[in-house]
Structure 1
């Protein structure tokens, strides 16, 4: 599926967030993936093996009040997972074999608060908390989440979407996949 880049708010914000986090969380040390807000235990076990790990989840959108513009904030959540080898206190302070959760939360919050991206919006941390994964227990794993918003504004009223032909301006292509023949692919734009 493709969409007009000017209207792909979530798709444009995700890479900017990752790029910002990579300033202090280098790829060679920290795993990073887009993850669902509610992970299954199987999904969580997989990412726990990737620790130290950053999981980025889109939470939702809070629209503004301007009927002419689609504006507001996208709500994001960053999951932080660290693993150490020497028990309880090391989960928070770190040890010789792993980074601690305290430092991960502090650095993530600083990186995700108050930065602006030209023509895209700005980031604001809205909360942080220690968390647990239901059904998962490991004395050497610590978890937290940092919630933040990413403001945005995009003009949608000027598209004047009234007909299917008007919808083509969005540039969305739905690939229905599976056993469906290629002629059943629906394309609404370039």
Structure 2
């Protein structure tokens, strides 16, 4: 079983590589975050500005994809800018800081219609200004940019045939040793689709 073939593990590094074309690591932090940041998480990442959080939102399968999963994987960029000079710099930037307007424009340009080799194409599905509830620093602005990546995936690529294969995925409730403790007695192998 090769987990490197799993959809999220394949798409995430491709997205980050695409973003790095215009958001170099010297200046921009790009980190995985949950779709909704808690106050504590926000307080942690706001110190890393300019910051781009990459959040996985979900998968929207095509209704008739059959055994081959054809779907749109939904993602969100949470972008945070804290201006060090004027409040106007929050949006327009200055010689010291990038502004939020430029971050949104560049991220949208990078992700709209981008083709990820061996995966599929992406499309921007929305962008909006957001705020951190309870955060009162006027110099900080936050925006989300939502996008999706079209892809096709066959579970056969994971070669899940035995209970050990599922356990390696982190499917911990499949515990053949202890059905009495809530595990599943599943010593049989899964037959591949033919």
TM-score category, normalised to shorter length: 0.7 to 0.9
1:116 corresponds to which residue?
A: 115
Write the distance in 2 (CA, Å) between the matches of 1:59 and 1:34: 12
Matched, 1:165 2:159: no
Q: Which has the higher Rg, Structure 1 or Structure 2?
A: 2
Contact 2:93–2:100 (Cα < 8 Å) also in 1: yes
Deviations 1:84-106 (A, max 9, x none): 12332111001232110000000
Q: Which has the higher contact order (CA 8 A, sep 6+)?
A: 1
Matched, 1:100 2:96: no
Unaligned runs of 5+ in 2: 173-194
Contact 2:81–2:99 (Cα < 8 Å) also in 1: yes
SS of equivalent residue, structure 1 residue 174:
coil
Aligned length: 171
2:27 corresponds to which residue?
A: 29
Contact 1:129–1:145 (Cα < 8 Å) also in 2: yes
User: Which runs of structure 2 are paired with 1:67-86 in the superposition (5 Å)?
Assistant: 67-86=66-85
Contact 1:29–1:52 (Cα < 8 Å) also in 2: yes
TM-superposed CA distance for 1:152, in Å, is 1.0
TM-score by length of 1: 0.82
SS of equivalent residue, structure 1 residue 139:
coil
Contact 1:59–1:77 (Cα < 8 Å) also in 2: yes
Return structure 1 stretches of 4+ with deviation > 6 angstroms.
157-161
Unaligned runs of 5+ in 1: 177-190
* Distance of aligned partners of 1:71 and 1:167 in 2 relative to their CA distance in 1, 3 Å threshold: farther
TM-superposed CA distance for 1:155, in Å, is 1.8
TM-score by length of 2: 0.80
Write the distance in 1 (CA, Å) between the matches of 2:53 and 2:21: 16
